[in-house]
Amino acid sequence: MKAAKLLAERTGQSANWARALSNRMGIRAQRRIERVVLYLVLAAVGAIFFLPFYWVITASIKTSAELNRMPPTWWPHTLTLEHYPQALNPDFGRYFLNSFIYATATTVIVAVTSTLLGFILSKFSSKFGEIFFLAIIASMAVPFDLYVVPLFMLLLRIQKATTVPMLNTYWGMVFPWLVYPFGTFLMRQAMLSIPNELLDAARIDGASTLRTFWQIVLPLVRPNVAALCIFVFIWRYDEILWPLVVASESKMYPISVGLVEYVGEYFVEYGQFTAASVVAILPIFVIYVLLQRYIIRGIALTGMKG
Amino acid sequence: MEDQSFFPKDKTAVIVLLIAAAFFALVRLYPICDALVLSLQHKVGAQQHWVGLENFRALFKDSIFLKSVWNSFRYTAMAVPGVVTVGLILAMLVNSVKNTLWRGAFTTSFFLAYVVPLVAVAVMWRYMYLPSRMGLFNALLGLIGWGPIRWLDSPKTALLSLAIVRVWKYSGYAMVLFLAGLQAIPETFYEAAMIDGASRWQRFRHITLPLLAPTTLFVMMVSILSAFMMFTEVYVMTGGMVSGADVRGGPQYSTTTMVFNIYTTAFEHFKIGYASAMTVILLILMVIASVIQFKYLRPTWEY
């Protein structure tokens, strides 16, 4: 109120005008304080969320002597990259290669079968298709980890019956993803909204079913396919249980299994295994930075979760 | 369509459907049926014969199996409320940021933990949970004169330690879903409430929470199912500790979850029949969960 009086005196305006103005400025000041508090809280929460990353990344560039100090140092006193060459031994290169082969092959197969099957299920009505779709939805209720024991037995049986090796092969790892119920479901839902007239027009122009699919349907659902591919890749890169079961030879380990074996071996060498985990995170981090918009939108729209 | 035929008229469509159905039967239907069959057999290595329900009878007397069921429930009960609450708080905070640039930056940062590979996350946390003062958490507790807590090394705190990792990793995922839910609430609802003089808490309690109910249910359901199937954290973070030569799933089976128990039974003890019986029980639990979700947890109203 003192401020309002002063304001009225100085400007020569009415007392009411001054009071209203100073009230408004009060609200504005309050809003500003609220905003500052909000940002401070967010920054604090963000710091807590980043702490694990900070801790592991700094640990990977501390010297071994510093890592064994107790209590630990909060920031590295001497920087060193000595742990990285040790963590990036040839074995690790092989693990990376295996992970990329497994994740990429699965992504390609899932993309092809999910889009094609989604197209047929959404645009060609039949009783068989309806029953099939119901079965697909029902199977989505069963988490993949539950299939591990019987799928392992299936691989064994195929191997015995056909003498084609299945265990310790990429093919054996990719095998369960030949048909991916969740991907099929997503693609079918995305394609439902494509107008039938568009497909009829293509057919009248003499385009075959596959050509219609390739040239008309696929371009229309490209963002959905992209989101599906990103997630399948990220999830399969991260997978551990199934590769653990299929790959018993270390030359077939993906990075997830390799990292655990590595940590088990060198657990006391903190520098080496923190460096190894930083390296394992890096590819996914790059993908995330480049494609974060698709990833976050994809989650928000579909609630995807591996 | 009334006169719907059994197969589509298009030849290509029929071929695609038949091939896909064959694959589907092979990789999804057959394994489930096989699990049911195997659960009725004694199968260890090359030995194999029918035993009827013997596996199931043995399971209900198997103290480790019962403990694994209890652990899965306990872990879910510890982790899910954390994921949902922290996710909602993060979403409310981020949603009050009006500057799009900052808002995007915060969303991206909180979501990062969800994208990072779980195996690497588990390795990171194992390092932070070191039982001595060398571990980050014990060093922090040391600053205020507490601890050290033996985190993963003590049967009392091991499962809780794993649940904390989940809250950190998955609350960003919950946040993104909650953000989408919050943005769907019309701004006019809040304006009307403000004119009526509703306080901030009242607005949250009577507008945000009820209108967010469908999202909350969805987030809860997804989190429950995924927490109940927890495996990776146990496999990576327990066992082979520096201090005690404890096995994975320990100490004293305190972190042995159902999926982890299935894994060790099948692939370390090679008891395929017994592991299949466990798989069947877990399958039944999952089916019950989805029936509940389908029947009761669907929003019955919209705004």
pLDDT above 70 covers a percentage of chain A that reads 94
**Same domain membership, residue B142 and residue B40:** no
What was the pLDDT predicted at B241? 52
Average pLDDT over residues B51-67: 87
pLDDT of residue A129: 87
Model confidence at B302, pLDDT cuts 50, 70, 90, reads very low
Task: Note the helical H segments in chain B.
Answer: 11-24, 30-38, 54-59, 63-95, 100-115, 118-128, 136-143, 158-183, 187-195, 200-203, 209-211, 213-228, 232-237, 258-267, 272-296
Whether the per-residue pLDDT at B203 is higher than 90: the answer is no
Give the domain range for residue A111.
Answer: 89-302
Nearest-Cα distance to chain A for B55, in Å, is 16
Same-domain pairing of B95 and B239: yes
> φ and ψ at B42, to 5 degrees?
-90, 110
Encode pLDDT of A105-133 as tens digits. Answer: 999 999 999 999 999 998 888 888 889 99
Q: How confident is the model at residue A216 (pLDDT cuts 50, 70, 90)?
A: confident
Per-residue pLDDT, B242 = 46
Interface pTM, i.e. ipTM: 0.86
Paired with A229 in beta bridges are none
Number of domains in chain A: 2
CA distance A218 to chain B (A): 16
- Residue B37 CB contacts under 8 Å (≥ 6 apart), including other chains: none
Q: How confident is the model at residue A304 (pLDDT cuts 50, 70, 90)?
A: low
Do the domain assignments include residue B192? yes
Report the distance separating Cα A126 and Cα A18, nearest Å. Answer: 75
Q: Note whether A126 contacts B17, CB cutoff 8 Å.
A: yes
Same domain, B37 and B68: no
The answer, yes or no, to whether residue B183 has pLDDT greater than 90, is: no
Task: State which residues form the domain around B176.
Answer: 61-296
3-class state of residue B233 by DSSP: helix
Confidence bin at A4 (pLDDT 50/70/90): low
- B6 domain-assigned: no
CB contact under 8 Å between B35 and A149, yes or no, is yes
Strand (E) or helix (H) holding A20: helix A15-60
Rg (CA), chain B: 24
pTM of the model: 0.87
Q: What is the least distance, in Å, from the CA of B192 to any CA of chain A?
A: 19
Within a domain: A64: no
Per-residue model confidence (pLDDT) at position B180: 87
Span B274-301, average pLDDT: 81
> Is B91 within the bounds of a domain?
yes
pLDDT at B215 over 90: no
pLDDT at B301 over 50: no
Is residue B83's pLDDT more than 60?
yes
The total number of residues written for chain A in this structure:
306
Please count the other Cβ atoms lying within 10 Å of the Cβ belonging to residue B207: 17
| Mean pLDDT to the nearest integer, A221-233 | 88
Q: Which of B23, B30, B286 sits opposite A178 (nearest CB)?
A: B23
B240 pLDDT above the threshold of 90? no
* C-alpha torsion angle, residues A199, A205, A208, A212 (rounded to 10): -40
Distance of CA A45 to the CA centre of its chain: 22
Q: Collapsing DSSP states into helix, strand and coil, what is residue A42?
A: helix
Q: Are A159 and A292 found together in one domain?
A: yes
Residues B112 and B216 in one domain: yes
pLDDT digits (tens, 9 = 90+) for B241-273: 544 445 787 788 888 999 999 999 988 888 888
- Asked if the Cβ–Cβ distance from A288 to B232 is below 8 Å, we say no
Q: How many Å is the Cα radius of gyration of chain A?
A: 29
CA distances from A230 to A290, A306, B194 (A): 11, 12, 42
Pair B91, B157 in one domain: yes
Looking at the fold, whether B71 and B23 belong to one and the same domain comes out as no
Same domain, A257 and A138: yes
Mean pLDDT in residue range B164-188: 90
B92 with B18, same domain: the answer is no
* A299, pLDDT greater than 50: yes
- Asked if B30's CB is within 8 angstroms of A154's CB, the reply is yes
- Asked, for residue A121, whether it belongs to a domain, the answer is yes
Both B46 and B99 in one domain: the answer is: no
Nearest CB to A296 within list B26, B176, B263: B176
Note whether residue A59 is domain-resident.
no
Asked, for residue A13, whether it belongs to a domain, the answer is: yes
CATH code for position A143: 1.10.3720.10
Q: How many domains does chain B have?
A: 2
Beta carbons of B209 and B175 less than 8 angstroms apart: no
**Which of A178, A274, A299 is closest, CB to CB, to B176?**
A299
Residue count (chain B): 303
Residue A81 forms part of a structural domain? no
- Claim to verify: residue B176 and residue B28 sit in the same structural domain: no
